[in-house]
Every structure is written in structure tokens, then in C-alpha cells.
């Protein structure tokens, strides 16, 4: 008995796999930004408590993480990183 595997080679299947790959890449970039932010803060001697670490690692918005990372380059406290404005 032969099993029909044509679905796995279909254009729809390829599209689904491509979307999954892109989502995985985006998630990886976001995780990388969070790690970079934590590294910059550590390198600058800024203490990061558990709540702040959770806020950073739990953030799924790459634009916000990028904004925080830019601020972390000159911040001396986490309050400066997360300040509005």
C-alpha cells in the first residue's frame, strides 16, 4: 500500500514551511536583541533585577527592543532605558 505524500511537495505545503521558517527567524532575531540588551547593560555595570530581566526577555516587539538597546548604550540605570519619551 502506497502512501500519498503529494501534499508535502505541494505549493501550499512549501508556503506553510516558508512562513514557519520566517517566524522562527524573527523569533531568533528578537531573542538576539534581548540578549544584546542584557549584555550591553551588564557591560555598562547597570544592575538588572529579575523583574526587568523578565520584561526584556518576554518582549516580543523587535522595534521596542531596538529602542531600548539604543538607550542602553548611554544609560546608567534601567529606569533611563525604559523611560517614556
pTM of the model: 0.74
Q: In the chain, count H helices and then E strands.
A: 4, 0
| Distances 34 to 10, 19, 21 between C-alpha atoms, Å | 37, 23, 20
Which regions in the chain score pLDDT beneath 70? 1, 5-8, 85
Q: What is the pLDDT of residues 35-51, one digit of tens each?
A: 999 999 999 999 999 99
Q: SS3 of 73, please?
A: coil
pLDDT score recorded for residue 60: 94
Q: SS3 of 46, please?
A: coil
Q: Hey, what's the cell of 83? A: 523611560
Amino acid at each position: 500500500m502506497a502512501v500519498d505524500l503529494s501534499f508535502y511537495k505541494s505549493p501550499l505545503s512549501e508556503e506553510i514551511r516558508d512562513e514557519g521558517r520566517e517566524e522562527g527567524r524573527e523569533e531568533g532575531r528578537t531573542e538576539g536583541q534581548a540578549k544584546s540588551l542584557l549584555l550591553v547593560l551588564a557591560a555598562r555595570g547597570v544592575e538588572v533585577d529579575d523583574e526587568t530581566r523578565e520584561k526584556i526577555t518576554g518582549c516580543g516587539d523587535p522595534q521596542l527592543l531596538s529602542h531600548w538597546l539604543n538607550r542602553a548604550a548611554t544609560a546608567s540605570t534601567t529606569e533611563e532605558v525604559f523611560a517614556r519619551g
